[in-house]
């Protein structure tokens, strides 16, 4: 999935509770779609930072979606016990159908998607300093449209 392309209209299961999440249902919002896994060390650092970010940016029309590619749902759920509650939207892609559509180059990878569903940024990998950069991308996009 390259910058400037329309994000595919994928659907995946919610990780907490039941139901599904469809990417097209988030149109009108700026979306950060983040692929993560419980076994990925950078993901373990990134996801709590994205969760904190979600609390700060939700009111600006920004939705952060953390999509686990763990084959075993219990592994992802165990990872989530690190915090008592999560503000970001959590999904599960055990067969990696969504990952196959986006083709993340490494774990984690996040995609900044604008209100019309166009991919505007791809952030491959994660270092602590990336959190500020990602938040700035989201806020700039949300305020510039």
Residue 2 lies inside a defined structural domain of this protein: no
In a domain, 87, yes or no: yes
As to burial, measured by CB atoms within 10 angstroms (0-12 exposed, 13-18 middle, 19+ buried), residue 54 is: buried
Would residue 17 count as lying in a domain? yes
What span, in angstroms and rounded, lies between the C-alpha atoms of 9 and 70? 21
CATH code, domain carrying 99: 3.40.30.10
pLDDT, position 18? 81
- 4 in a structural domain: no
Q: Confirm if 27 and 117 have CB atoms less than 8 A apart.
A: yes
Domain count of the chain? Answer: 1
Q: What is the pLDDT of residues 77-108, one digit of tens each?
A: 999 998 989 999 999 999 999 999 999 999 99
Tokens at 17, concatenated: 């509770």
Does 128 map to a domain? yes
Using DSSP, state whether 35 is helix, strand or coil: strand
Tell me: the pLDDT tens digits for 12-43?
A: 999 987 899 999 999 999 999 999 999 999 99
Give Cα 61 distance to the centre of its chain.
Answer: 15
- At residue 46, does pLDDT exceed 60? yes
pLDDT at residue number 41: 95
Answer yes or no: is 6 within a domain.
no
What is the rounded CA–CA span in Å between residue 101 and residue 76? 21
Does any domain span residue 101?
yes
Query: 54: domain range?
Result: 11-144
* Within a domain: 5: no
């Amino acid at each position: 999935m390259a910058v400037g392309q329309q994000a595919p209209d994928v659907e995946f299961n919610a990780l907490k509770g039941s139901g599904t999440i469809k990417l097209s249902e988030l149109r009108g919002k700026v979306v950060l779609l983040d692929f993560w896994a419980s076994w990925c060390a950078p993901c373990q650092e990134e996801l709590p930072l994205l969760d904190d970010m979600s609390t700060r940016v939700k009111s600006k029309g920004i939705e952060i979606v953390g999509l686990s590619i763990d084959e075993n749902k219990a592994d992802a759920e165990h990872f989530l016990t690190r915090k008592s509650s999560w503000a970001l939207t959590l999904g599960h892609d055990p067969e990696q159908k969504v990952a196959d559509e986006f083709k993340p180059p490494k774990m984690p990878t996040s995609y900044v998607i604008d209100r019309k569903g166009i991919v505007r940024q791809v952030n491959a990998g994660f270092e602590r300093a990336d959190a500020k950069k990602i938040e700035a991308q989201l806020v700039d996009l949300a305020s510039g449209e």
